[in-house]
Each structure stands twice: as structure tokens, then as C-alpha cells.
Amino acid sequence: MAPIEVENLTKEYGGVLGVDTVSFTVEDGEVFGFLGPNGAGKTTTIRVLLGCIAPTTGTATVLGADVHDEDALVEAKQRIGYLPATLGFDEEVTGTTVLDYHESIKGGQRRDELLNMFTPPVDRPVREYSSGNKRMLGIVQAFMHDPDLVIMDEPTSGLDPLKQERFNEFLRAERDRGKTLFFSSHVLSEVRRVCDRIGILRDGKVVTVEDVDTLLNRGGKQVRVQTTDAGRAALADLDDVIETTQFPDGIQFIYTGEYNTLLTELSRYDVQDVDISEPPLEDIFLHYYETDANAREVAEADV
């Protein structure tokens, strides 16, 4: 049985759908990225998986435990780590006290190793922590009992770039050790760096679940051409051209069709400059969101 199986999951809050018939499966030993803008339903899905909220309809299993079955879920949680988006540690106690409490309940065989890698000032009270330090304390508590599955909600928010890179490396190493990692993010580049597969969530619905590589290949090429007015107009009208942007003396677009067709078309006009490259993941993402204003926010969050 896959570590996470979600089937037709719907959660309704007072007439508003938080998530709407969401289905996906996270396979053993993969890093699964759950991507979408704020408010798309990522946290709602995660809360269902942890039994914080009950689904309105549909179901989900985590390490084989049905989320409706509290006893089974409690049993499964011994092998689950969780890093929430907001880390509500007790402010008045030290990091050591927090970790002692966590260790007493779920174990902490990797605590020292993790504290060498991520270095929150554990002797100081949590109220003195920066957001990065809180995040590191969160990472330590999520992994310290060496869980088989770790669920993370926006795990790198608050981390400086150096620590982010260390964390990404750590995630890859964990995956190689056979752990299953599920994390939500609205930062595309992060997801691209560490994930094997991505589920894209939009307005509470899963728009697509794909391999990162497939998503990139499917995305076609980004073409940037400097040419005449007539050339620009003709290129913009070509089939398989999307995401057209005009700029002075030129045009930029994503081309998903046959390369020969594009080259034939280009040869008809006076081309001063041409650049054909891999499209940024942001643009692929925009494709799924189309005119959605949220998409720009997501795409730009990474720039």
C-alpha cells in the first residue's frame, strides 16, 4: 500500500469547498511536491492526512491507516514526521525542553545528528528565536524519530538560502535512504530541485500530477525572436504558440509544436536575433493556471 492515498477527498467549510474531489497517490520512496498558490487547499489536504480535520466526503490513508480511524492513525503516526507551516512551539521554554518533550513521545534517535546539521540555539528560550531558527527546530523535531514518511507544509519558509540548500540536500539523501517525503510549496524552483513528482493544486482541485521531467518536456521551448512587424504577427498566429509576449522589435512565446514548422516560418522573415531555450517552470505552471491572477503570484514568488 502506498504511503499516502487520497481518494475523491472533499472538505467543505460552511458552504465553501476547501478541497474538491482531490485524488492522488504518493509512492514509496519518492519526494512528492504539492504545488499551488496560497488558498489552493494544500494545508487543508495535509490537515486531513494528519486527522486534524475530518473530510466531508472521500477518504485518505496514511501508511495504510484510514484517516477516519483514530486508533489506526495514532499507530501510524509513530512512523510519521510533520513539519507544519506555522511552528507554534511554547515560547517560554528552551529548544532543548521542546525536543525533550517530543523525544519522550515519539523517540529521538537522530536528534544529535540533526542538531549538527541544522543548528537552532537549543539552550535559548524559543521566544528569542528568529523564524529561521524556529524552522530548524521544526526540521529537527520532524525527522528526529527517523520516520518513514515526513509531511511538510512550506518547509523552507524562513530559512536563509544556504540553509535551504542544505535542507534540499538533506531531503535528497533521505529519499535515497528510502524515506517518503511529501511537501507543499508555492515556490516552483524549490519543488523542481528536490521533487520526483509534482501535483498541482488549483482552487481546491488537483489539475495535474506528473513527473517533473515530463512536465518540463511537455512544456515545449521558449522562443525569443527579433524580427519585422509582419514576422511577429505571423508567428503569433502560428498553431502551438502560447504565452505570447510582445516587446520592442520582438516577440517571446512558448512553442509546443513541430520544430521544422517553426524553423520554416522563421526563415520567411528577416530575423535579427533568435533564442530557443528550456522554458522556466513558472511558464509551464502559468499554462495550468492560464489567466488566473493567482498564477502570477505563484510564478513570481520565486523570482
Residues at the contact surface with other proteins, assessed by CB under 8 A: 47, 50-54, 70-71, 74-78, 80-82, 84, 86-90, 92-93, 101-102, 104-106, 141
Nearest CB to other proteins, comparing residues 93 and 216: 93
Min dist CB 85 to other proteins, Å, is 8
Min dist CB 240 to other proteins, Å, is 45
- Bridge partners (DSSP) of residue 208 are 200
Q: Does residue 145 contact residue 97 with C-beta atoms inside 8 Å?
A: no
Min dist CB 65 to other proteins, Å, is 11
Nearest CB to other proteins, comparing residues 57 and 86: 86
Min dist CB 82 to other proteins, Å, is 4
Q: Does residue 206 contact residue 200 with C-beta atoms inside 8 Å?
A: yes
Min dist CB 41 to other proteins, Å, is 14
Residue 50: is it exposed, middle or buried by C-beta count within 10 angstroms (0-12/13-18/19+)? middle
Nearest CB to other proteins, comparing residues 6 and 76: 76
Nearest CB to other proteins, comparing residues 74 and 233: 74
Q: Does residue 228 contact residue 273 with C-beta atoms inside 8 Å?
A: no
Nearest CB to other proteins, comparing residues 140 and 286: 140
280 to 223, 254, 303: CA distances (angstroms): 12, 10, 11
51: alpha, beta or left, given left = phi > 0 and alpha = psi -120 to 50?
A: left
